[in-house]
Amino acid sequence: MVSGAQEARPGLGEAIAYLREGDVLVVVKLDRLGRTLKHLIATIEELNDRGIGFKSLNDGIDTTTSTGNLIFHVI
């Protein structure tokens, strides 16, 4: 397992590069994706711009639904 606190995370970069429009990136917790809130928001916005959904299992965020997208933006 790779910590979200590490600066370089090649596995995450490869996974994001592999994703295509219509795919969904699923993580266990938000801290698995972003080092900071700013980085997390930027990453999810990048995914959204590419037509890729995002789900965080423990945090109940699912940007593939209108409710989940709203919850993410409220956070």
Angle between helices 37-49 and 10-18 (to 10 degrees): 20
- Token pair 């699923």 is found at 26
pLDDT 10s digit of each residue in the chain, 75 long?
Answer: 545 455 667 888 899 999 999 999 999 988 888 878 888 889 999 999 999 999 999 988 899 988 887 877 776
* Alpha-carbon separation of residue 7 from 12, 35, 36, 47 (angstroms): 11, 8, 11, 20
Instruction: Tell whether pTM > 0.85.
Output: no
Task: Report the pLDDT value the prediction gives residue 30, as an integer from 0 to 100.
Answer: 85
55 CA to centre of own chain: 7
40: helix, strand or coil: helix
- H/E element, 30: none
